[in-house]
Amino acid sequence: MNKLLHTLFFSAIVGLISGCNGSSSNSSTNTNNWNLVGGSIPGSNIILNSIAYSSGQIYTGGSLDVNNPAVFNFINSWQITGGNYLPNPYGVTEQVNSIAIDTNKMLYVAVNATTPGSFGDRPTVGYLASNAGNNGSWLILANESSVPDNGGINSIAVSNGTAYAGTGGYDLNNNSYYGHVYSCAGAQNPWQEVGGESVPNGGEVYSVILSNTGSVYAGTGGYDLTNNSSFGSVYVSINNGNWQQVGGGATPDSGVVTSLAISATNQIYAATSNSNVYLSTGNNSWSVFGGGSLPDNGSITSINLSTNGLIYAATNNGNIYAASINQPWQLVGGGGMPDGWYANSITTASGIIYAATQGGNVYSTSIIQ
Strand arrangement of the beta sheet that strand 327-331 belongs to: 300-305, 311-315, 320-324, 327-331
3-state helix, strand, coil in the chain (%, to 5): 5, 45, 50
174-201, pLDDT tens digit by residue? 778 899 999 999 888 999 999 999 999 8
The dihedrals phi and psi of 345, each to the nearest 5 degrees, come to: -155, 145
How is 234-253 classified by DSSP, letter by letter? EEEESTT---EESTTSS-TT
Per domain, the residue ranges of the chain are: 3-366
The string of DSSP codes covering 96-153 is: EEEEEE-TT--EEEEEEEE-SS-TTS-SEEEEEEEESSTTSPPEE-GGG---TT--EE
| CA nearest to 117, candidates 181, 157, 173 | 173
**pLDDT, tens digit (0-9, with 9 covering 90-100), for 16-47:** 322 333 333 333 333 459 999 999 998 889 99
Note whether 212 and 266 are within 8 A (CB). yes
Kindly report the pTM of this predicted structure: 0.89
- Give which of 166, 151, 106, 109 is closest to 132, Cα–Cα: 106
Residue 179 and residue 199: Cα distance in Å, rounded?
A: 6
User: How far apart are the C-alpha atoms of 164 and 133, rounded to whole Å?
Assistant: 20
**Taking the alpha carbons of 149, 150, 156, 161 in that order, is the dihedral positive or negative?**
positive
Residue 226 pLDDT greater than 60, yes or no? yes
Of the listed ranges 95-104, 132-141, 203-212, 249-258, the one predicted with least confidence: 132-141
User: What fold, for 3-366?
Assistant: Neuraminidase (2.120.10)
Query: What does the DSSP 8-state code read for residue 173?
Result: T
* Confidence band of 117 (pLDDT split at 50, 70, 90): low
Quick one: which of 292, 296, 306 has its CA closest to 335? 296
